[in-house]
Structure 1
Amino acid sequence: MLGLLKDHGYVITNEFAHADVIIVNTCGFILPAKQESIDTILSLAEYKITGKCKMLVVTGCLVQKYRQELLEEIPEIDGVLGTSDFREIGTLLDTKLKSSSLHDLDPDRFSYENRYLTTPRHTAYVKIAEGCDNRCTFCLIPELRGGYQSRPMESIILEARKLVSLGVKEINLIAQDTTSYGEDLYGERKLPELLERLAQEKIAWIRVLYCYPVRISPELLKVMGKYPNICRYLDMPIQHSDDHILKKMGRKEHREFLEQLIKRIRNTMPDIALRTTLMVGFPGETEEQYQSLLDFVSEQKFDWLGVFTYSQEEDTPAASLPEQIPEQIKEDRYHRLMSLQSQISLEEKQKWIGKTISVLIEGKSSDNPEYFIGRSQYQAPDVDGVVFIKGDLLQIGDLVQVIITGADVYDLIGEIKEK
């Protein structure tokens, strides 16, 4: 949208008080995200009084599901666009429409030639597919973003080349499910081939996020292990480890499969960092099933782990299930699991002391100006820990060799290795 607006002659500003138009891109996945989106809309609407704002536009998932309700309940909104009609943002602003009808998800959702890089210059996200065909019972994504639709491989390669020409060193591949890439477009899953082709480009780091576990194939692991510029990092949300809960969630895996998969991944790439996401408090989750999850986490020792409490979302099959778990129990289970993971994380991070790793410099530490902050290939942007490096001659975007000298629960501390 920013790229399209730039083409329409608009100047992008990060200062709300100076903006003639404010655009809020919303999430509607879970209740806290919906509330955050609404709170943001209401707070930014104040700039129509205190700032220069002449037009407040709301886009994204919340609009896709609650368009009419938003327009009725928040009259300050001047225009809305759903998840697939973002290309109309320029026309919407040019004509100052009061509303815009939502369109059906069309086959040409990937007009990214106008890409406007909002991340730091050295890192970028590249979306390889849109929508989702997995029907997890707790999730609204298929309704909000439509069925799975892969982006043509050539388009992805061209965007990657353009990003590299701008100085990007790390490309993070994203989709609601990256492992399904190509199945709809080419008749078979093509993520291994896409990675193989990207690995031939001049990209320092290629990272794969959001892998559906049951589709992590031996071929995919082989390609990941073959190329040094494909990060030894795999993000595979598993949600739970109890077979009964997984079945109720509409997931395809079971515990034994997950155990064997993790073993196969680590056998293929012994130095790989594994990230997963878990959900606690799913309807009917017993204390015994929860304890089984704790045992699973203790055994598998994930490098990175995120935990969500189950959110009862309207229009999802899980919302009508009996035995909804009280919020207090969900919160207790969340904190107990995170406490366990903190212990595991500290133990695992200590193992890095004395090793030398390549680190991508992100900037200076705001807490201690003597240190720079960077990330290794084992740390994804925004969600994982960082590496603190003492030094004064480093530049943002530098790739440097660092000897790890210390560690805490999430972060590493190191020194520049002398040439």
Structure 2
Amino acid sequence: MATRVGMVSLGCPKNQVDAEHMLFNLKKEGFEIVSDAALADVVIVNTCGFIESAKQEAIDTILEFCTLKQEGRIKAVIATGCLAERYRDEMKNEIPELDAVIGLGANDQLVDIIRQIYCDGKPVCAYGAKTDLSMEGGRIISTEPFYAYIKIAEGCSNCCTYCAIPAIRGKFRSRKMEDIVSEARWLAENGVTELVVVAQDTTRYGEDIYGKSMLPELLRQLCQIDGFKWIRTLYCYPERITDELIDTIASEEKLVKYLDMPIQHCNGEILKAMNRQGDRKYLTELIAKIRAKIPDVILRTTLIAGFPGETEEQFEELCEFVKEIQFERLGCFAFSPEEGTKAYDMPDQIHLKTREHRAEIIMEEQMIISDRLNEKCMGKTFEVVCEGFDRYAECYYGRSAADAPEIDGKIFFDSDKKLRTGEYVKVLVDDTLDYDLIGSRVD
């Protein structure tokens, strides 16, 4: 009987793509992949190590499966991913129940490591160079079958002072365009209709191997692939959003009119302290240009509240900016001091409660903005991809092109016709609920 392996992947879509590569390699070697990790012989927790809340979630998940191991319900627990890479020795020393701690550069050794655990029962710690993390190879798609993420680069060279990603995943390195297009074609041939392009900084794609950003050209090539209906790009840094990229999004029908642009702040002094570029004037003008060239564009951003040294006046400027710009989608997080980053040791650290309170203020304002924007959707018809049926609400739910999977809101709707997951339908909106919309399918 084949060894059953289950995986829990935490964190971002980029981490999820890594998990899908690992699952493919395991299946190819004869392991049985089970969807419920609690029913597996071996459980792999693919961890996130980005901020404190993500680290705590990863540790809690590992401990949960270690308890099942102690109860005899599973045989081995393995930690992979960013937390395992970031805290190599600490992971094994502080959680001795772990059978293996595997760094990112050792993902390709996973099959041999599991066999080694079964053979001699001794704990394993395996690491490698960050550049040993492959972006190529087969995948087992773990999302709903109609959409998938495609990773176009690994690592990051931006070195924002609050971020540990460069230390965890290494310098930015792009994939060859022909390899990305080949993988995208395979995804389309296997039923994927929504492609989500990801990297730590998608707008930097190609600079290291082609000498300039090649994201617009890549997107144009992806649009030529039959089968895709929506192509969405996440994590576009504002200072690298060029006129060419804006014009490409505006002109290509398959590119959804959605731009994910994490700006983190608007005050020039805070952005400089973050090792980010720009200021309120630059961002305001950029956003005005985007909205002029891409009518009805959906702008999504993320902000950090309570960065070291952020004054009340600078925070108030951020609040005013949010009210002025009226982002369609926005998330705000309290600054998380991360060991090994420059911001961790900066002077004028702000108390946790103040950081959290400032983030709450931003999100309360965004709720008001979202309510106002949702009201404008009343009476409008949207194309929606059906994601499933909610038994409790007794209706279908899905997303329009204005909403990214696993991030943004939903549209709940009635339908006289039975629908299948992944089917695209027209929905007339007639009500709202927090960040979500409510409506009915129309012919």
- TM-score w.r.t. length of structure 1: 0.96
Which 5+ residue runs of structure 2 have no aligned equivalent? Answer: 1-21
Matched, 1:172 2:193: no
- Mean Cα deviation higher: 134-143 or 347-356: 347-356
Paired residue type of 1:374: G
Question: Does structure 2 conserve the Cα–Cα contact (< 8 Å) formed by 1:16 and 1:47?
Answer: no
Task: Indicate yes or no: 2:113 matched with 1:92.
Answer: yes
Counterpart amino acid of 1:58? A
Identity of aligned residues (%): 45
Aligned residue in 2 for 1:415: 440
Decide which of 305, 308, 326 is 1:301's aligned counterpart: 326
Q: Does 1:148 align with 2:172?
A: yes
* Contact in 1 for aligned 2:99/2:124 (Cα 8 Å): yes
* Contact 1:350/1:408 (<8 A) preserved: no
1:223 paired residue number: 248
Give how far 1:408 is off: 3.4
Contact 2:257 2:296 in 1 (8 A): yes
CA distance in 2, matches of 1:118, 1:249: 34
- The answer to whether structure 1 residue 264 and structure 2 residue 285 are counterparts is no
Amino acid of the structure 2 residue aligned with 1:125: Y
Matching residue of 1:382: 406
Q: Are residues 1:185 and 2:206 paired?
A: no
**Distance in structure 2 (CA, Å) of the matches to 1:149 and 1:187:** 12
In the TM superposition, what whole-angstrom CA distance separates every residue of 1:218-239 from its partner, at most 9, and x where no partner exists? 1011111111111110100000
Cα deviations by residue, 1:354-381 (Å, 9 ceiling, x for unpaired): 2222110000124311x10010000001
Match of 1:353 in 2: 378
Is the contact made by 2:104 and 2:133 (CA closer than 8 Å) also made in structure 1?
no
Which residue of the other structure, out of 95, 100, 118, is the alignment partner of 2:142? Answer: 118
Tell me what 2:354 maps to. Answer: 329
**Secondary structure, aligned partner of 1:100:** strand
1:339 CA drift (Å) = 0.8
Alignment of 1:56-71 (within 5 A): 56-71=77-92
Report the 3-state secondary structure (helix = DSSP H, G, I; strand = E; otherwise coil) of the residue aligned with 1:230.
Answer: coil
- In structure 2, what is the Cα distance between the partners aligned to 1:163 and 1:352? 32
CA distance in 1 between partners of 2:392 and 2:331 (Å): 25
Give the whole-Å Cα distance in 2 for the aligned partners of 1:230 and 1:329.
40
Per-residue displacement from partner, 1:193-244 (whole Å, max 9, x unpaired)?
0100000112111000011110011101111111111111010000001111
Runs of 4+ in 1 over 4 A off after TM superposition: none
Of the structure 1 ranges 134-143 and 158-167, higher mean CA displacement relative to structure 2 is found in: 158-167
Report the equivalent of 1:288: 313
Among candidates 39, 44, 49, match of residue 60 of structure 2: 39
Residue 78 of structure 1, aligned match among 99, 111, 115: 99
Distance in 2 of aligned mates of 1:41 and 1:334: 29
Larger deviation, residues 161-170 vs 126-135 = 161-170
Deviation at 1:17, TM superposition (A): 3.6
CA distance in structure 2 between the partners assigned to 1:258 and 1:234 by the alignment:
14
**Aligned residue in 1 for 2:415:** 391
Q: Which runs of 5+ in 1 are unaligned?
A: none
Paired with 1:314 and 1:17, the residues of 2 have a C-alpha distance of 32
How many residue pairs get matched? 416
Residue 361 of structure 2 corresponds to residue 340 of structure 1: no
Q: Deviation string for 1:375-406 (max 9, x for gaps)?
A: 00000011111111101411110011222222
Rounded to whole Å, the distance in 2 between the matches of 1:277 and 1:84 is 29
Q: Distance in 1 between matches of 2:133 and 2:38?
A: 35
2:12 aligns with none
Superposition RMSD in Å: 1.3
1:6 aligns with 2:27: yes
Match of 1:247 in 2: 272
The amino acid that maps onto 1:43 is: E
With normalisation by structure 2, the TM-score equals 0.91
